[in-house]
Amino acid sequence: MQKEKIINRFLRYVKIDTTSDPNNPEFPSTEKQWDLAKLLVKELREIGMSDVHLDENCYIMATLPSTVNYQVPTIGFVAHIDTSPDFNGTNVNPQIHKNYDGNDIVLNEKENIVLSPAYFEDLLQYKGQTIITTDGTTLLGADDKAGVTEIVSAMEYLINHPEIKHGTIRICFTPDEEVGKGAHLFDVEKFGAEWAYTMDGSQIGELEYENFNAAGAVVTIEGKSVHPGYAKGKMINSMLIANEFISALPSKEIPQETTGYEGFFHLHDISGNVEKTTLEYIIRDHDMELFVNRKKQFQSIADDLNKKIGKELIAVQIKDQYYNMKEKVVPVMHSIDIAEEAMKDLGIKPLIKAIRGGTDGSQLSFKGLPCPNIFAGGHNFHGRYEYVPVESIIKATQVIVKITEIVAFRFK
C-alpha cells in the first residue's frame, strides 16, 4: 500500500472542519459535515465503488460487489466523519514527523506545547515510524478520520487487486457520532450486512466487543436568593446543596480512580448560583445489574436530601444512552474470531478488551447489526496531544482487506 497516498488522503480529510454540535438536534448537527461527506461521495465514485449514496441526513453508504460465485455473508465497515466538540477542531494544521526518534516532539514552540514520551509512554512503541500530530492548538481528527481513511484505502486496494477474492462489502460513514447520535438514523435494513466493524478504536491491535452501559443524568437544584444581611432562616443556597449531593456519591468511583470493568459517576459540567444549580453527570458500568443499581443510588441520594431539607428542591433526570453490545455480538462470535485471525496473519498482537466508553457499534448492535470495534490507530483523542502513527493506519487498512479474504475463504 502506498504510504504517501494514505498520508495525503488522511491530511486532506483532517483539514476539513467537521466538528459536531451537541446542542443542535438537527442531522447533521453542523452544516460543515457536508463538506467532507460530499468529498467522500466523489472519491468513492472515482475509485470505483457501486451504489454510492448520500442521504438527507448526511449518511454515506456504498457497495463493493462480490468477486466470488458462491454465497458469502455481506459484511460492513463503518466510521464517522465528525470530530469532537470538546476541543478546537477548526484550522487543523497537522505536523508530520518522519522516523520518530523517541524524544519529545515540540508541537508548538511559541506556546511551549510538547508531546513527550515521559508522559505519553505509548509514543515509544512507535520509534522509527512516521507520526502525525497536531500543531498544539487543535485536535487532530484521527477520531475518526483515520477510520475513514482506512476504509476508503482498503476499498481502493481491493478494487485495484481483483485477484483478492471477497464477498459483498458495504461501507457507511456517519455524522454526529461524537455527540451520541451517529447511529440514530442509520438504516440497518438498507445497509444489508450480517455484521460489521466500526474502525474507531485507538492503538494498534485493539479489538473490542464490550462497552459500558451508559446514561446521562441532569440534577437541577432550586434555591432561594435573599439579601445576605437578611438571609437568616430564609436563604437557600443551591450551590451548597449541590456540594452535598456531590459529596454523597462514592468519592473513588470516578473516571480517574477506576479502570477495566469498574464503573463510575462522572460530573462533567456544573453551573449555578444561589437560586439554581445544575449538575450534569454520566453514569457508566459494564454489568447491567450494577448499572441499574447505580441509577437507583443516584436517585436515592436526591430523595434523601429532599427529605432532609423538607422540600422537593432537587430534581433528577436520567436518560439511558447506550448498552453493552456484548450480548448482541456473542451470537456472531465468528466476527471476532475472523478479526483476530486477520490481525495475527498480519503480525499484529490482538488486544481484546472492553471499551471504557461507547461507540456507534453499540447502538448499531442493538438495532440489529452486530458491530465490534477495530483499532484506527490514533492516541490521545479529543485534544491537542492527539497523534497517529501512519504505519498503524496502514496496518488497519490491511486488516480490513484481510478480513474480507478470510470471510470469503471460511464460507466457501
Query: Looking at the annotation, which residues are catalytic?
Result: 82, 177
Query: Residue 302: CB partners within 8 Å, gap ≥ 6?
Result: 219, 245, 314, 315, 316
Residue 264, exposed/middle/buried by CB under 10 A (0-12, 13-18, 19+)? buried
Residues facing residue 114 across a β-bridge: 106
d(CA 244, CA 248): 6
DSSP 92: -
For 260: left if phi > 0, alpha if psi spans -120 to 50, otherwise beta; the answer is left
Residue with cell 485477484: 163
**What's the one-letter identity of residue 146?**
A
d(CA 133, CA 86): 18
Helix (H, G, I), strand (E, B) or coil at 285: strand
Q: What element of type H or E holds 33?
A: helix 33-47
**What's the one-letter identity of residue 202?**
S
